[in-house]
């Protein structure tokens, strides 16, 4: 099968960047986050120069967005609540402030997989279904958004990689919500999480910023449409009934099992993931941001990532951009490291960044075109 590129006039991608990880260290797919395992990418807290990395990426690579993962437990200091711990939140805000000082957009990402302190295959830890209530989750986002409500370059990433979420009928059976005509579809429960979070963020006063809506199956771009995530999230609206700045949040890796745990890349994802997703987005007037992608620092990933970014740029009316995984507090020998190396006088990028992901190399992003 040959996939044709849409014949629209070329326009560059709006965003390119990288995750600045560390506040999420200790978080697992079961929603457990061991706070003591966090390694904040803030020099004053850990010796990791996250600000130096971000300034380098902006000034030398043309990046203009950073994703800042953090565990829910870190922000509330191990309390299943929406109330922020003043000290912990202040620590995290140091990273956000560093990010904003570069002039880039900065995404707040709750890195809990739609869970809180459970087992990866156990649904009782899921938000709103045995785990924290939807009201608590909405309170968390209300408090976060209240702090940055007047900062136009803050992006709100509702939740990192939900997975194994039951369908909408489970909510009806548990009495969480009632069914009406518009819900008579086989849709995902993640809809309700995102809907309540969007309302909370907007009611906190953050009425214009982007909000990223994640789907099921680790918000995989490949299954975003086929799983029903796209249809479910397409129904989420702002309180005024619009979907302005409600952006689909998708991830996609290039290794053989899409896990992002192997150095070698085997696909550009165009036929299986990006073509069906962009087709749906365009047909429904929606947009998506690829907030995690990457591979090892090997030639196969340089080639396939370049092809993926090229296709995304050809679809820039519906794909806003990409963020690599990951820089920040990772060791430089981490299999998917995009951590630049400081040589005493300057920063040296990894192979994948320098040869494929840097806008200064691919010239496909608005920040450098």
The residues annotated as belonging to the active site are 161, 292
Task: Name the helix (H) or strand (E) containing 140.
Answer: helix 134-147
Report the C-alpha gap between 306 and 294 in whole angstroms: 11
Tell me how far CA of residue 2 lies from CA of 265, 271, 280, 303, in angstroms: 20, 8, 18, 18
Task: Name the helix (H) or strand (E) containing 155.
Answer: strand 154-157
| 63 CB-near residues (< 8 Å, 6+ apart) | 16, 17, 18, 54, 57, 104, 358, 359, 367
Question: Are the C-beta atoms of residues 290 and 14 closer than 8 Å to each other?
Answer: no
Task: Name the helix (H) or strand (E) containing 67.
Answer: strand 65-70
DSSP state of 346: S
Report the C-alpha gap between 248 and 214 in whole angstroms: 6
């Amino acid at each position: 099968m040959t996939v044709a590129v849409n014949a629209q006039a070329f326009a560059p991608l709006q965003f390119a960047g990288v995750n600045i990880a560390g506040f999420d260290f200790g978080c697992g797919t079961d929603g457990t986050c061991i706070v003591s395992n966090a390694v904040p990418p803030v020099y004053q807290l850990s010796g990791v120069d996250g600000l130096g990395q971000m300034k380098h990426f902006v000034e030398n690579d043309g990046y203009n967005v950073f994703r800042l993962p953090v565990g829910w437990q870190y922000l509330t200091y191990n309390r299943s609540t929406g109330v922020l711990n003043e000290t912990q939140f202040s620590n995290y805000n140091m990273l956000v402030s560093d990010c904003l000082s570069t002039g880039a957009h900065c995404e707040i990402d709750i890195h809990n997989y739609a869970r809180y302190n459970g087992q990866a295959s156990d649904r009782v830890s899921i938000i709103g279904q045995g785990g924290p209530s939807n009201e608590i989750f909405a309170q968390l986002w209300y408090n976060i958004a209240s702090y940055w409500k007047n900062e136009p370059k803050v992006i709100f990433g509702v939740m990192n990689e939900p997975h194994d979420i039951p369908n909408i009928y489970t909510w009806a059976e548990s009495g969480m919500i009632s069914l009406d005509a518009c819900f008579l579809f086989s849709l995902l429960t993640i809809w309700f999480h995102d809907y309540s979070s969007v309302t909370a963020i907007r009611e906190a006063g953050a009425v214009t910023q982007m909000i990223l809506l994640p789907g099921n199956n680790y918000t995989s771009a490949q299954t975003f449409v086929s799983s029903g995530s796209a249809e479910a999230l397409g129904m989420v609206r702002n309180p005024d009934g619009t979907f302005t700045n409600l952006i689909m949040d998708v991830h996609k890796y290039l290794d053989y099992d899409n896990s992002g745990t192997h150095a070698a890349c085997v696909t550009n994802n165009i036929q299986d993931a990006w073509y069906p997703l962009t087709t749906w987005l365009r047909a429904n007037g929606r947009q998506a941001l690829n907030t995690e992608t990457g591979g090892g620092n090997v030639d196969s990933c340089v080639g396939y990532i370049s092809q993926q970014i090229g296709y995304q740029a050809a679809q820039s009316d519906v794909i806003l951009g990409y963020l690599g995984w990951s820089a920040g507090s990772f060791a430089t020998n981490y299999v998917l490291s995009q951590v630049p190396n400081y040589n005493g006088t300057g920063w040296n990028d990894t192979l994948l960044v320098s040869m494929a992901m840097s806008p200064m190399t691919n010239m496909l992003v608005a920040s450098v075109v």
